[in-house]
Structure 1
Amino acid sequence: MVIDPLLKQAQGVWETLAALPVSFPLAGGTHVVTSPASQLAPPSWAGIVVLGDSAIVTAPTDGAMQVLRRILTRVPTGSLTSPEAIQAVLPVSEVLGPAVLGYVSRADFRLVPADGSVERIAPGHQDLMTFVKSVPPEDAGESGMDEITSAAFVVRHGADVVAAAGFRAWPAQVAHLCVLTAPGERGRGLARKVASAAVVQALAEGLLPQWRARPTASRKVARALGFRELGSQLSLRLNQEELRLDDWPKGVTLSP
C-alpha cells in the first residue's frame, strides 16, 4: 500500500487533537471513541474528521459513543461530514461545518511574490485589530485573525490595513492559517499575497500549514498556493434526551 506522506501527517494532527489513543483505519472506515477532552469539536460536542478514506469520531460520553459507533460505522465515509446525512440518522441539535481541510508540503507550495507590498506587524497590533473590527462580524469570525499567534502579514491602502494573514499555533506542529480581506478589496489577489507570506513563515518554523475553510473563495486561494484538500470536519451538538432512546436511526435504512 502506497502511503501519502502529507495525508499521514494530517491524520497524525487530528489523532493528537482527539486527546486519547485513536487512529484513522488504514483500510478505510471509521473509529469512534469517548474523549471528553477532544479538540475535534467544542466541549460536550461530538467531532467527526474525515481524511482520505478514513474517519475518526470523538464523543463526549460513553453513552453517546455507543450510539455514534452503532450508527456512524454504517454510514459511508464520504457522507460523514454531510449535515443532511448525519441529521437523518442522529438526534442533532446543532452543527458546525462542514469545513474542508487543506494542507501543503514545502515541495508543493506555490509562492506568490510579495513585491514589497506586504508588511509584517505584530499579532494584536492596533491597526490589525481596527481592520478586524471594520469587516462584517461573520467574516471576522470565519477568519480567526484575532486569534493568531504568529506575526501578521498585511497589505495597506494608505494607512489602513485591507488584507491580512497569519497563523495560530496548534498542537502537533501545525500552523492553522487565518486570512482576511476587506470586502471592497477582494478579487485583486491580496489574499494570496498575504497568505503566501504566512505560509513561508510557517514552513520556516518547521510547521505544517493547515487551511480550514468553508467559503468557496477561501478554498480557491488555498488551492492557488498548492494546498491539497485532504478531508473535512464536522462538529455535532447531540440532543441528549433523544439520544437516550434505543431506536436510532428512526425509520432510516443505512448501508451495510
Structure 2
Amino acid sequence: MAHDPLLVQARGIWLEMAGVPMAFPADGGVDVAVSAGSRFCPPGWVGIVALGDATLVTVPARNWAETVRKVLLGLPVDALTDADRLRAVLPVVEVLGPASLAYLDADDFQPAGLDAAEVVPGEHADLARLLASVMVDDADECGLADITSAPFVVRRGDRVVAAAGYRRWPGLVAHMCVLTTPDQRGRGLARAVASAAAADALANHLLPQWRARPEPSRRVARALGFRQFGAQLSIRIGT
C-alpha cells in the first residue's frame, strides 16, 4: 500500500503542510516534529495525520515533543486518530475531528448521472441563502463559504438545495466542499453536485481530497470512487 501512487501523492500534500522537514516512516510508525507553523491543526495545537500505515505528528513547542513522541510510539497506528484513546494517555482538553481523508484518481472516478438533477453554476447569493438555511455547524463543516472554484448547484424551483465546489490547497489539491439542505438529503443530490465539482477539479489537473466526519458524507465519497487512506485529528493539550 505504501507504494500506491495515489497514497504517495496524498502523503506529499501533508508533508508540505507540516511546515518542517518530515517523513512518513517507510516501515510504518510515527514521525513527530516541532512545527509552530504546521497547517495540520490550529496554532498551538497538536496535529495528527495518519495515511496508510504511517503517521505524522506536529507539536507547537519543544517542551511537548518528547512527551508526545514517547506516548504515541507506544500506540498502534489506528489509535493515533482515536480521540478517546489519546485522552487516556495525554491531558487532552479539546479535540477537532477525527475526519477521514480520501482521494480520487481519475481512473477510479465514478461520475453521477447528471440527468437525475439539474446541475448549474450558482451565484454567491445562492450559496449565502443555502448556508443560511442550515444549522451553523453544518455550514461551518461543509466549507462552502471558502471555495475558490465555481459552485455547482442543484435547484428546486428558484431555490438551491444542494451545492458543491472546492478550495485550492497547496500541492495542486482540490479540497471538496458539499452541502445539501436537510429536507433534500438521501436523494442523491450531494453525489450529483460533488460529481460535477470533482470532474472540474480533475479537468484542471488537481487532486480531489474529501475530508469528512459523518458517515453519509463518506458514503458519497466512496460512491464517486474516492479511496480512504487515513484520518486527521487535532488535539489541544493542557498544561
For normalisation by structure 1, the TM-score amounts to: 0.91
Q: Quote the offset at 1:48 in angstroms.
A: 0.4
Partner of 1:64: 64
Say yes or no: does 1:119 pair with 2:117.
no
Say yes or no: does 1:179 pair with 2:205.
no
| Residues in 2 aligned to 1:107 and 1:74: alpha-carbon distance in whole angstroms | 38
The structure with more radius of gyration: 1
Q: Quote the offset at 1:113 in angstroms.
A: 2.6
- Amino acid in the other structure paired with 2:209: Q
| Residues in 2 aligned to 1:128 and 1:96: alpha-carbon distance in whole angstroms | 25
| Residues in 1 aligned to 2:65 and 2:159: alpha-carbon distance in whole angstroms | 49
Is contact 2:2–2:53 with CA below 8 Å preserved after alignment?
Answer: no
- Amino acid in the other structure paired with 1:35: S
Which secondary structure state, in structure 1, belongs to the residue aligned with residue 112 of structure 2?
coil
Partner of 1:189: 188
| Residues in 1 aligned to 2:113 and 2:196: alpha-carbon distance in whole angstroms | 8
Say yes or no: does 1:88 pair with 2:88.
yes
Which secondary structure state, in structure 2, belongs to the residue aligned with residue 151 of structure 1?
coil
Which secondary structure state, in structure 2, belongs to the residue aligned with residue 89 of structure 1?
coil
| Residues in 1 aligned to 2:142 and 2:80: alpha-carbon distance in whole angstroms | 25
Q: Quote the offset at 1:162 in angstroms.
A: 0.2
Greater mean alpha carbon deviation, residues 29-38 or residues 1-10 = 1-10
Partner of 1:245: none
| Residues in 1 aligned to 2:2 and 2:237: alpha-carbon distance in whole angstroms | 37
| Residues in 1 aligned to 2:226 and 2:176: alpha-carbon distance in whole angstroms | 11
| Residues in 2 aligned to 1:54 and 1:224: alpha-carbon distance in whole angstroms | 26
Gaps of 5+ in 2: none
Q: Quote the offset at 1:2 in angstroms.
A: 6.7
Q: Quote the offset at 1:121 in angstroms.
A: 2.6
Greater mean alpha carbon deviation, residues 68-77 or residues 85-94 = 68-77
Deviations 1:112-144 (A, max 9, x none): 13226101135xx11111111111111111111
Partner of 2:10: 10
Partner of 1:165: 164
| Residues in 2 aligned to 1:126 and 1:165: alpha-carbon distance in whole angstroms | 14
Which secondary structure state, in structure 2, belongs to the residue aligned with residue 197 of structure 1?
helix
Is contact 2:153–2:161 with CA below 8 Å preserved after alignment?
Answer: yes
Partner of 1:207: 206
| Residues in 1 aligned to 2:17 and 2:26: alpha-carbon distance in whole angstroms | 19
Q: Quote the offset at 1:17 in angstroms.
A: 0.5
- Amino acid in the other structure paired with 1:180: L
Percent identical: 53
Partner of 1:225: 224
For normalisation by structure 2, the TM-score amounts to: 0.97
Gaps of 5+ in 1: 242-256
Give the root-mean-square deviation of aligned CA atoms.
Answer: 1.1
Partner of 1:30: 30
| Residues in 1 aligned to 2:118 and 2:136: alpha-carbon distance in whole angstroms | 26
Q: Quote the offset at 1:70 in angstroms.
A: 1.4
Size of the alignment, in residue pairs? 238
Partner of 2:51: 51
Is contact 2:2–2:52 with CA below 8 Å preserved after alignment?
Answer: no
Which secondary structure state, in structure 2, belongs to the residue aligned with residue 107 of structure 1?
helix
